[in-house]
Amino acid sequence: MASRGRKTLRTSWWAQQWLKNLESFGLAGRSSRVRSYVRNGNIQDIIISSGSITANVKGNRKDPYKVDIALKTLSPDEWEKVLDALAGKAIYSAKMLAGEMPDNIEEVFSALDVSLFPASANDLSARCTCEDWPEPCRHMAVVCYALALEFARNPFVLFKLRGMDKEQIIEAIRKRRTKDTGTLAVGDAKKVAEAEELSQSMEQDYNSQPVSQSGVNYWTGRMKNCDIKIVIEPPLVEQSILKRLGEPLFFAGRMDMMRQLERDYKKILFKAITVSHKE
- The pLDDT averaged over each successive group of 10 residues in the chain (279 residues) is 50 82 76 80 88 90 90 94 89 80 85 90 88 77 89 89 92 82 49 50 51 54 52 61 62 63 79 68
Report pLDDT for 253.
Answer: 53
- Total number of domains in the chain: 2
19 with 65, same domain: the answer is yes
Q: Are 31 and 104 in contact (CB under 8 A)?
A: no
Report pLDDT for 51.
Answer: 93
List the one residue out of 126, 133, 89 whose CA is nearest residue 108: 89
In a domain, 139, yes or no: yes
Helical segments of the chain, H only: 2-11, 13-24, 32-39, 76-88, 90-97, 106-111, 138-153, 156-161, 166-182, 186-207, 211-220, 240-245, 257-278
In a domain, 16, yes or no: yes
In a domain, 20, yes or no: yes
21 with 142, same domain: the answer is yes
138 with 44, same domain: the answer is yes
132 with 218, same domain: the answer is no
In a domain, 261, yes or no: no
Report pLDDT for 135.
Answer: 67
In a domain, 145, yes or no: yes
Report pLDDT for 3.
Answer: 43
In a domain, 96, yes or no: no
67 with 12, same domain: the answer is yes
Q: Positive or negative CA dihedral for 271, 272, 276, 279?
A: positive
Total number of residues shown for the chain: 279
189: containing domain:
185-228
130 with 217, same domain: the answer is no
In a domain, 4, yes or no: yes
206 with 145, same domain: the answer is no
134 with 198, same domain: the answer is no
Report pLDDT for 47.
Answer: 92
16 with 146, same domain: the answer is yes
Report pLDDT for 186.
Answer: 47
69 with 205, same domain: the answer is no
144 with 206, same domain: the answer is no
C-alpha 179 chain-centroid distance = 20
